[in-house]
Amino acid sequence: MVEVTVTPQSSLADRPVQIRVRGLSPSQLVTLRAWLKDEQGECFQSRAFFRADEAGEVDPGLHAALGGSYSGVWPMGLFWFLQPDTLFRRLVKRDVAGSPFRVRLEVFDGLSMGTDPREQPLGSCEAERWYVGPGVQRVPIREGRVRGALFLPP
């Protein structure tokens, strides 16, 4: 059984996480895909191709991506290289305090471009990426022509 994990599963968006895939065959070629839907329902995704090590594991922090949205060792590459399905869209979080981005991580056998909707992942998990920590208060600022927000720690 293939297992995908993100540690910690829930974290602030600027904090690093560790992604690991276990239960693969040694030297198995896989595609690791991350995707999310923003608040307008727009899909953003990234993918990277990896070859499992001799223990049947993939860790983007240790193993180099062979291609896809990026190549090389990028521990947070799947999050940093998220691209919109629709051109000229930007990933923006409007409700920073009310809800996180839920990023779905999936692993597929071989090189997968995700064009076949019937293709089932070998394993998957979900990571929560929050933009405001617990207890932080958001105060809107409107002074003359200045608009903004002040975030106060607990």
Chunk the chain into consecutive blocks of 10 residues (it has 154) and report each block's average pLDDT, rounded to whole numbers: 96 96 97 96 96 98 97 97 94 90 96 80 96 92 94 92
**pLDDT at position 151, please?**
92
* Helix and strand totals (H; E) in the chain: 1, 11
Asked if CATH classification 2.60.40.2240 holds for the domain at 3-152, the reply, yes or no, is: yes
> Which residue, among 72, 18, 53, has the nearest Cα to 81 in the 3D structure?
72
Q: Are 36 and 9 a contacting pair, CB within 8 Å?
A: no
pLDDT tens sequence across 34-76: 999 999 999 999 999 999 999 999 999 999 999 999 999 999 9
The pTM of the full predicted model, rounded to 2 decimals, is: 0.88
Domain segments of the chain as ranges: 3-152
**pLDDT at position 115, please?**
66
